[in-house]
Amino acid sequence: MMKKLIAITCLCLVACGTAHVAYDYDETIDFSSYKTYNYYPNLKSGLNQLDTKRLLAATDSLLESKGFRKANTPAMYVNFKSRTYETQSRNSVGIGIGSGPLVIGGSVPVGVPDQHIQLTMDFVDVKKDELIWQAEIDDVQNSKNTPENRKAFFEVMMDKALSKYPPSKKK
């Protein structure tokens, strides 16, 4: 019984720590025709300049590994929008009074609130000026915000965002 409780607790902790990613795309598009990219000319990610540089570096690396080439006259633009928000800390202390069927209890949050970044990544067809693919990713930022941790955070975030690109063709 105790082993099952420990296994369930570990599973819950891992599940709570993962980024949430949602995808959408135009099902009529042949994504293999897009080989070049650049960033939207008026890119305003909503992040500070240092984090925007980290985000773009991570994106460049992953897109190049997928066979894309950055170009002055690209087939598609990449655009980002972000927002940050806080949620109550997931750490809490439980309090209970009573025994048997008459137990009263609750929990009190402990620690600082979790800092989230919600990032939307758009791929836009340059010629048609139409959205062709989108990923929305939401993740909790590491509380130890060293430059190395922030770089790794954006690398992991972009890896998850681009893990389903290009979309698989339906038969």
Q: What is the pTM of this model?
A: 0.74
Residues 6 or more apart in contact with residue 57 via CB below 8 angstroms = 151, 154
Q: Does 14 fall in a domain?
A: no
What is the CATH number for 72? 3.30.160.670
Q: Does 39 fall in a domain?
A: yes
Domain count, the chain: 1
| 162 exposure class (CB count in 10 Å sphere: 0-12, 13-18, 19+) | buried
Q: Does 7 fall in a domain?
A: no
- Classified as helix, coil or strand, 71 is coil
Q: Can you give the residue range of the structural domain that contains 140?
A: 27-87+111-163
Q: Does 2 fall in a domain?
A: no
Q: What pLDDT score was predicted for residue 30?
A: 94
d(CA 67, CA 101): 63
Q: Does 105 fall in a domain?
A: no
Residues 6 or more apart in contact with residue 30 via CB below 8 angstroms = none
Helices (H), 48-164: 49-65, 147-161
Q: What pLDDT score was predicted for residue 6?
A: 41
Question: pLDDT 10s digit of each residue in the chain, 171 long?
Answer: 544 444 343 333 333 457 899 999 999 999 999 999 999 999 999 999 999 999 999 999 999 999 999 999 999 999 999 998 877 665 666 677 767 667 676 666 666 677 889 999 999 999 999 999 999 999 988 667 899 999 999 999 999 999 999 998 765
| Dihedral angle sign, alpha carbons of residues 36, 41, 46, 50 | positive
Q: What pLDDT score was predicted for residue 91?
A: 64
Q: Does 17 fall in a domain?
A: no
Q: What pLDDT score was predicted for residue 113?
A: 74
